């Protein structure tokens, strides 16, 4: 896991060494273990790399890495987890290797199969390969966009790319400015931009997930989709629950096994919820079974952030999950309010996006990992978006069915109540169901904009503003229940979550691996019907079935969901209120907040959100 950069002067003038170094070194947090640059086309193209050493810690893994007598050169961020299998296949074709890295395997695979090599990779990646044979620069991103890849194109002047938008603050020849239309959309809904290939900055776009981008001479830029979920679904999946639960379990175990390969220590960010607890349990079984090749032989470690006395404190559940496993070491993390101000500002500056709140809680987890000598974390991200794991998703299913005479909303009742668990919610839902029964056939659903996040047409025109070569997914023709999952996974929630956790972890030089995002597992789950995803009052139904007897039973059946969320309202209304007010440069808002302090009144959620947007904007413009 690393940081990658590149600059191509389209005029043919050489890229100055200090220019690429400054651009590259802005990503030192992503790769503190080494750095390198290489120059091509008589110096007009420069590639940069910051290294976080995970596989083959020797200098043999240094990048940018040349191959085939300099015919190919790569700068690579990510991991191809099936590299051992690919290495054996390539050796059978006569290939030899100088290192034990997956990077060299990627180069050899490209040399052997060309751009079709992408379909052979199981992993997460963003890379650029200079092909000197074709005078061509080839950039590619993994199927789901786990690893980021941003670029800017200034016609007749420069093409440049980097792992983070933050790096473009340090790119000579590019003036970074906020795109006001995109910024306004991001403030309205922070989930809107990430899956569309655009950012809040003028001229900075993304290579979309499952896409490649090719630049060749004479200058031509082509972005092409190389992978689509629709081409990999099973039309007639086996509908036996027992068979499917065993199949899903086998895929998950193999996914974790592949992702345990490492020459450095591995941990897990444990929230106490179902998903991270599953990963912890599967990893524990694999480690005790001794069947994983090339693994650091340190004990299993888990890291949980706690908020004593607050509703989102998951210490109790996290401890139960860990007690079920090896009991090797469980790190409980509490935020230090004295260091929070500098932590929040540093996280916001480097994360460099519009968000509702800073990602400080997640960042503190990975910071503690790194301080404990852990450089890789196997985490539970990605499954909620495939299996209705969020309350708003189940709520939308319920309301859609409530106002459609052909659908049965009662099938979602218990799952919806489970998110809150209070009797008032149950009574309210029962009243709604009774009203539907009394008025069945006379009710026409016109909606209360409750499906806002799953109907994206109202934003399409605006999002096309700065997207010259984009082929993002379009799921408008899908049935509602399916469209919700596809949009959440490929366009809104998951792309934003992946960006956030990439930033939170890489700020602290930690690589996050996500077993639930093995493409084989994703395709299998998306192929299953609704009843395998939400059933008998449970979301993620088939996953829960697959883990019977393999994890803490209380957590396996747990319905409530918290996640790793910063308690920003609590922090600001306690120890950080005066510090926070000082950051606000909107005079009217600042006066309003100072009056609240004067009368010893807590800030409302609305005031805190408005104030954070103001502070966030100031940081983006630095």
For 346-390, how does the pLDDT look when each residue is reduced to its tens digit (9 = 90+)? Answer: 999 999 999 888 899 999 999 999 999 999 999 999 999 999 999
**pLDDT confidence of residue 95:** 97
**Cα-atom radius of gyration of the chain, to the nearest Å?**
25
**pLDDT confidence of residue 451:** 42
For 558-585, how does the pLDDT look when each residue is reduced to its tens digit (9 = 90+)? Answer: 998 887 778 888 899 988 988 999 999 9
* Average pLDDT, integer, range 216-238: 89
Q: Round to whole Å and give the CA distance between 367 and 580.
A: 23
Assigned CATH for 231-385+493-529+545-556: 3.40.50.620
What are the residues whose beta carbons fall under 8 Å from the beta carbon of 122, sequence distance 6 or more? 80, 81, 82, 258, 518, 519, 520
The interaxial angle of helices 274-289 and 241-259, nearest 10 deg, is: 70
Exposure of 189 by Cβ count < 10 A (0-12 exposed, 13-18 middle, 19+ buried)?
A: middle
**pLDDT confidence of residue 103:** 97
pLDDT band at 469 (very low <50, low <70, confident <90, very high): low
* Angle, CA 526 vertex, CA 455 and CA 83 arms, to 5°: 120
* Average pLDDT, integer, range 502-516: 97
**pLDDT confidence of residue 28:** 97
**pLDDT confidence of residue 142:** 98
Separation of first and last alpha carbons in the chain: 27
For 245-260, how does the pLDDT look when each residue is reduced to its tens digit (9 = 90+)? Answer: 999 999 999 999 999 9
Q: Are strands 136-141 and 538-539 parallel, antiparallel or unpaired?
A: unpaired
* Average pLDDT, integer, range 463-480: 70
Contact between 314 and 306 (Cβ < 8 Å): yes
**pLDDT confidence of residue 294:** 73
**pLDDT confidence of residue 177:** 96
Domain ranges in the chain are: 2-227, 231-385+493-529+545-556, 387-490, 568-620
Element (H, E) at 111: helix 102-113
**pLDDT confidence of residue 432:** 83
**pLDDT confidence of residue 422:** 72
Res 458 pLDDT > 50? no
**pLDDT confidence of residue 254:** 96
Contact between 386 and 515 (Cβ < 8 Å): no
**pLDDT confidence of residue 404:** 80
Cis peptide bond prior to 218, omega within 30° of 0: yes
Res 459 pLDDT > 90? no
For 439-449, how does the pLDDT look when each residue is reduced to its tens digit (9 = 90+)? Answer: 654 444 444 33
pLDDT band at 80 (very low <50, low <70, confident <90, very high): very high
* Average pLDDT, integer, range 44-67: 94
Contact between 501 and 369 (Cβ < 8 Å): no
* Minimum mean pLDDT range among 43-47, 154-158, 228-232, 537-541: 154-158
With b for 16 or more beta-carbon neighbours within 10 A and e for fewer, the 116-145 pattern comes to ebbebbbbbbbbbbbbeeeeebbbbbbbbb
Contact between 77 and 2 (Cβ < 8 Å): yes
Q: Are strands 538-539 and 374-378 parallel, antiparallel or unpaired?
A: unpaired
- 2-227: CATH superfamily: Aminohydrolase, N-terminal nucleophile (Ntn) domain (3.60.20.10)
With b for 16 or more beta-carbon neighbours within 10 A and e for fewer, the 473-510 pattern comes to bebeeeeebebbbbbbbbbbbbbbbbbbbbbbbbbbbb
**pLDDT confidence of residue 33:** 94
Average pLDDT taken over every residue of the chain:
90
CA atoms within 13 A on the CB side of 61: 22
For 260-271, how does the pLDDT look when each residue is reduced to its tens digit (9 = 90+)? Answer: 999 999 999 999
Q: In sequence order, what are the beta bridge partners of 471?
A: none
DSSP class per residue in 375-411: EEEE--TTSGGGTT-SHHHHHHHHHHHHT-TTS-GGG
Q: 27 or 197: which carries more pLDDT confidence?
A: 27
For 290-330, how does the pLDDT look when each residue is reduced to its tens digit (9 = 90+)? Answer: 677 777 767 789 999 999 888 888 999 999 999 998 767 89
């Amino acid at each position: 896991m690393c940081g990658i950069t590149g600059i191509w002067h389209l005029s043919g003038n050489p890229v100055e060494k200090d220019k690429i170094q400054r651009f590259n070194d802005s990503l030192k947090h992503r790769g503190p273990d080494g750095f390198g640059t290489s120059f091509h086309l008589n110096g007009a193209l420069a590639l940069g790399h910051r290294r976080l050493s995970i596989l083959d810690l020797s200098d043999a893994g240094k990048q940018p890495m040349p191959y085939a007598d300099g015919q190919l050169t790569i700068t690579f961020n990510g991991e191809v987890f099936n590299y051992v299998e690919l290495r054996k296949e390539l050796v059978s074709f006569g290939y030899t290797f100088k290192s034990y890295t997956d990077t060299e395997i990627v180069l050899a695979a490209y040399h052997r199969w060309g751009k079709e090599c992408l379909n052979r990779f199981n992993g997460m990646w963003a890379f650029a390969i200079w092909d000197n044979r074709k005078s061509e620069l080839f950039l590619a991103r993994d199927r789901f966009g786990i690893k980021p890849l941003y670029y800017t194109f200034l016609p007749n002047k420069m093409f440049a790319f980097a792992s983070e938008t933050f790096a473009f603050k340090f790119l000579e020849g590019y003036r970074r400015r906020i795109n006001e239309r995109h910024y306004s959309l991001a403030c309205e809904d922070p989930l809107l931009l990430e899956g569309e290939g655009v950012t809040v900055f003028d001229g900075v776009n993304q290579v979309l997930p499952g896409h490649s981008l090719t630049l060749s001479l004479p200058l031509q830029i082509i972005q092409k989709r190389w992978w689509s979920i629709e081409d990999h679904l099973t039309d007639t999946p086996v509908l036996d629950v027992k068979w499917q639960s065993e199949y899903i379990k086998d895929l998950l175990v193999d996914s974790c096994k592949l992702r345990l390969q490492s020459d450095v220590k591995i941990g897990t960010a444990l929230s106490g919820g179902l998903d991270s607890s599953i990963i912890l349990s599967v990893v524990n079984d694999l480690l005790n079974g001794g069947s994983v090749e090339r693994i650091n032989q340190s004990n299993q470690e888990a890291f949980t952030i706690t908020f004593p006395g607050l509703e989102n404190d998951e210490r109790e559940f996290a401890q139960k999950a860990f007690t079920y496993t090896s009991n090797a070491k469980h790190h409980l993390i509490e935020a230090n309010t004295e260091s929070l101000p500098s932590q929040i500002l540093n996280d916001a500056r480097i994360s460099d996006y519009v968000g509702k709140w800073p990602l400080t809680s997640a960042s503190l987890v990975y910071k503690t990992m790194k301080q404990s000598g852990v450089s890789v974390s196997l985490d539970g991200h990605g499954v909620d978006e495939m299996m209705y794991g969020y309350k708003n998703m189940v709520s939308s299913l319920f309301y859609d069915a409530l106002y459609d005479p052909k659908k049965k909303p009662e099938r979602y009742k218990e799952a919806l109540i489970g998110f809150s668990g209070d009797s008032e919610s149950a009574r309210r839902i029962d009243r709604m169901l009774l009203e539907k029964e009394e008025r069945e056939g006379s009710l026409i659903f016109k909606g209360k904009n409750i499906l806002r996040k799953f109907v994206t047409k109202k934003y399409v025109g605006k999002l096309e503003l700065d997207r010259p070569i984009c082929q993002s997914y379009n799921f408008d023709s899908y049935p509602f229940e399916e469209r919700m999952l596809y949009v959440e996974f490929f366009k809104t929630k998951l792309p934003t979550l992946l960006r956030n956790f990439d930033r939170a972890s890489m700020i602290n030089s930690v690589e996050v691996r996500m077993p639930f995002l093995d493409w084989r597992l994703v395709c299998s789950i998306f192929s299953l019907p609704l009843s395998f995803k939400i059933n008998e009052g449970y979301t993620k139904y088939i996953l829960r079935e697959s883990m019977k007897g393999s994890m803490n039973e209380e957590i396996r059946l747990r319905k409530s969901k918290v996640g790793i969320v910063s308690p920003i309202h609590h922090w600001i209304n306690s120890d950080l209120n005066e510090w926070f007010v000082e950051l606000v440069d909107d005079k009217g808002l600042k006066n309003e907040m100072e009056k609240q302090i004067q009368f010893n009144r807590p800030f409302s959620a609305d005031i805190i959100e408005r104030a954070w947007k103001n502070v966030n904007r100031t940081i983006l413009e630095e």
